[in-house]
Structure 1
């Protein structure tokens, strides 16, 4: 038996307090209610916990856009060994489709959920609709578009060497800062410095528009291959897709996703650029822009989804 007269008063007090509270516990609901309001981010009609949001979403997403080739021209083609290796390493969507012809409307749909009434590759548009970049920035994330052969950061030039503004939709939007419109030479070699979401736009020789499939495949391997390997162990993601096919009747294109927490395999969910944008919005709990609220979610490619 303990002689309480020999036990310090502070220790006795601690024992009493622990015996009173140790068996009570706090239910998850009560714990959630006790959090400061600053830890809860309200986004549109949805409220999400900031910590859970950060844990669920990739730290970095890089989207690479290729040009004007159908699924059957790429998948299984020996001239594209690296792209086909990515299809085997990651999630390959066998039923992926462009939304429009020609190129520019497809880029606009993927970026803003709408072709914004533009049905051509014409240059010089000024838009202010909500879009992926504006919503990421509004919700304290970061964005950049890296375009090969862009002459200078923020340039609004229509063409320069093999750069075409029609493939860089963010430059048209007044609610996206000019500093987000960057050259591919600005793409960081320290991938930790990448924005939350970024696009990589190869020039017309390296995206298959003017150049060969083999040239585009080599460029992708040499320039994004190191990022892909890094992404697999750094909670990051590569999305490789095409704007449109070669004017086939179905506009059937490849879409491939590779990174940590991606479950490899072939997926037959029918998707378009709208579904890909919807997936990004869901990952970062952003409001839906354009027509993405009506697009089916992509949520079966993650290893934590059973």
Structure 2
């Protein structure tokens, strides 16, 4: 009888210890995403802000002393070690992330007038949600010109679609300091210097810290999400880019599954119960990063 009691006590202790370990994994997020349980759905965020930088390969950002804030930010959320752009050059990648396809765009020729093709902005508005694109250095709200100073339309995909209203195409100066006033989904495009296209990695790193760290920290406790990514790498055939998710419900860690712009689009759509459009329809949303 004594032996049975000792065995039972030992078994109970092992089960309790296993439960404690499970609790730590669930609370803190595992170092190895392979050991975590995927969520059944993407959380419905109050706000998602996506900011796109330019033309840097993953290894130029990851662990780089020139990008301390990018790496600090990724350490606060989910870093994707196998994230890829769709093609080269810039413009078709912006179109792909916004509409699920490059829509026949193969270069940076402006303007790319794409009519009423399905896109994320149109989806959100049709579902009673809101979308706004904020472009730094754009000369006026609703601007449809190809360039002005450090602004380039080729990095502003939403203006190419006739079913996204001009009221959704705003200057970055309109980005609210009261984050509760943000639309459901916001895309942010820094200008040609601050997006690293014409200036250094350090310039873009400082811009991201100065402009979006406040939102990143707020998002963690306000059911919101920041997505930081790049349009393409530095022109290689691999086209691997740096992507991170930071905010509420995110389990901190490095995630090794292969994702691309269509996967990111599908994940945003899934947050609001929207169907995948074009090539995003064949992608599964990212589920393993949520707690």
- TM-score range normalised by the length of the shorter chain: 0.7 to 0.9
Partner of 2:123: 135
Question: Which residue in 2 is equivalent to 1:33?
Answer: none
Rounded to whole Å, the distance in 2 between the matches of 1:56 and 1:65 is 22
Between structure 1 and structure 2, the one with the greater Rg is: 1
Match of 2:148 in 1: 160
**Following the alignment from structure 2 to structure 1, what is the Cα–Cα distance between the partners of residues 197 and 113?**
25
Any conservation in 1 of the 2:276–2:282 contact (CA below 8 Å)? no
- Structure 1 residue aligned with 2:275: 287
2:246 to 249, 252, 258: 258
Matched, 1:75 2:75: no
Higher RCO, 1 or 2 (CA under 8 Å, sep at least 6)? Answer: 2
Deviations 1:12-46 (A, max 9, x none): xxxxxxxxxxxxxxxxxxxxxxxxxxxxxxxxxxx
How far apart are the structure 1 equivalents of 2:195 and 2:239? 17
Structure 1: how far apart are the matches of 2:76 and 2:195?
21
Q: What stretches of structure 2 of length at least 5 have no aligned partner?
A: 1-40
Q: Which among 105, 112, 121 is matched to residue 108 of structure 2?
A: 121
Query: In the alignment, is residue 101 of structure 1 matched against residue 88 of structure 2?
Result: yes
Tell me, yes or no, if structure 1 residue 186 matches structure 2 residue 171.
no
What CA RMSD, in Å, does the superposition of the two structures yield over aligned residues? 1.1
Uncovered stretches (5+) of structure 1, i.e. residues with no partner: 1-52
1:225 partnered with 2:225: no
> Which residue is equivalent to 1:198?
186
Q: Deviations for 1:208-236, whole angstroms, at most 9, x for unmatched residues? A: 10010001000110011111111111010
Deviation at 1:289, TM superposition (A): 1.1
CA distance 1:297–1:56, change in 2 (3 Å): closer
Q: Give CA deviations for 1:174-210 in whole Å, capped at 9, x if unaligned.
A: 0000010000000000000000000110001000100
Tell me which stretches of 4 or more aligned residues in structure 1 moved more than 2 Å. none
2:225 is aligned to: 237
Bigger shift: 288-297 or 171-180? 288-297
- Alpha-carbon separation, structure 2, partners of 1:67 and 1:188: 24
Counterpart of 2:263 (choices 254, 263, 275) is 275
Report the Cα offset of residue 244 of structure 1.
Answer: 0.3
Aligned equivalents of 1:193 and 1:226: distance in 2?
A: 14
The corresponding residue for 1:64 is 51
Whole-Å separation in 2 of the counterparts to 1:117 and 1:286: 24
2:78 corresponds to: 91
Given that 2:69 and 2:205 are in contact with CA atoms closer than 8 Å, whether structure 1 keeps it comes out as yes
Deviation at 1:117, TM superposition (A): 0.2
Shift of 1:288: 1.7
- Count of paired positions: 250
